[in-house]
Amino acid sequence: MLLITCPWCGVREEHEFACGGEAHIVRPLDSHTLDDAEWADYVFMRRNPKGVQYERWVHNDGCRRWFNMARHTVSHEILAIYKVGEPKPEFEG
Amino acid sequence: MLDAHLRLSSLAHLGLAARSIEEAGDAGIALGEVPRRVALTLRGDGEDAAFLDAVGRALGTAPPLTANTVASLEDVVILWLGPDEWLVNAPAAREDALQALRSALGDLHHAVADVTESRTVLRLSGASARDLLAQGCSLDFHPSVFQPGMCAGSHLALTHVTIHQIAEDPVYEIHVHRSFADYLWRWLEAASEPYGLAVVTG
């Protein structure tokens, strides 16, 4: 069980949240010019790193807001939590 | 809005009125359903002074901007649900609250919805109320952490609830969606067994 610090509500248990997958994936603005491989890359391909992963989470049972998290996928250590629109912190690994 | 003659409490089938007593006596838990209230969800920009001002004019109090707190004026209560979302509770007689808010907010960026029929409110009190909540909810209800005037959305027995502490004794109001109300009531009743339960009029 992770203890997650919601940027609005404070520390809550993981079961109040849901993970929305990898963060910082930008939708191509010129999608009409993409070929199938490029479109598939945007829609399906994810990094799945062994190390630091940047994820979107939503506080489903609290304030229902989305935010971003940097989490180490091996230790589950939460390295940073930041609001949508805030700059992505850089971590090694 | 639902016609008045169609309104039925989501716990009507439990016959709580017939079971309820005036005083909780020695029971560790007192539980009751609060009579029907007007409930509205309000969304808008909490950083916009004109929005806060308009809500204040309509309801007598501006929405709370601090997370997990409540603003109230007499029996009109505004619970913080999110940085741009609030739940307004008012007595059943205040059917005008919806229109008052819409008129005051006018062209400002906002959304107001009547959610009166979507949920019900349980009132929980008694010496063992904190122990009971701790059986099904991970929030910290210790008096140094959770105090009167605070509210929080969380899980209670895996059901989404908004819990609002209204008095130090402690007294809590539990806002629950009506389709979960029967389940939650039965869970609370079963979980109260070690402490003794008194069904009271909310």
**Domains, chain B, ordered by start:** 26-36+118-199 (3.30.1360.120), 37-116 (3.30.70.1520)
Please state, in angstroms and rounded to a whole number, the distance separating the CA atoms of residues B94 and B8: 18
Residue B143: the pLDDT is: 96
Asked if B85 and A64 come within 8 Å (Cβ–Cβ), the reply is yes
Asked if A63 and B154 come within 8 Å (Cβ–Cβ), the reply is no
pLDDT digits (tens, 9 = 90+) for A43-58: 999 999 999 999 999 9
Q: Is B152 on the interface with A (CB under 8 A)?
A: yes
pLDDT digits (tens, 9 = 90+) for B7-42: 889 999 999 989 998 877 889 999 999 999 999 999
Residue of B79, B87, B139 to mutate, interface with A, max A Cβ within 10 Å: B139
For domain A3-25+35-83, the CATH superfamily is: Folate-binding superfamily (3.30.2270.10)
Would you say how long chain A is, in residues? 93
Please state, in angstroms and rounded to a whole number, the distance separating the CA atoms of residues B90 and B42: 13
Residue B1: the pLDDT is: 64
In this predicted complex, what is the ipTM?
Answer: 0.88
Q: If you average pLDDT over every residue of chain A, what do you get?
A: 95
The domains of chain A are located at 3-25+35-83
**Which of residues B3 and B180 earns the better pLDDT score?**
B180
pLDDT digits (tens, 9 = 90+) for A13-45: 999 999 999 999 999 999 899 999 999 999 999
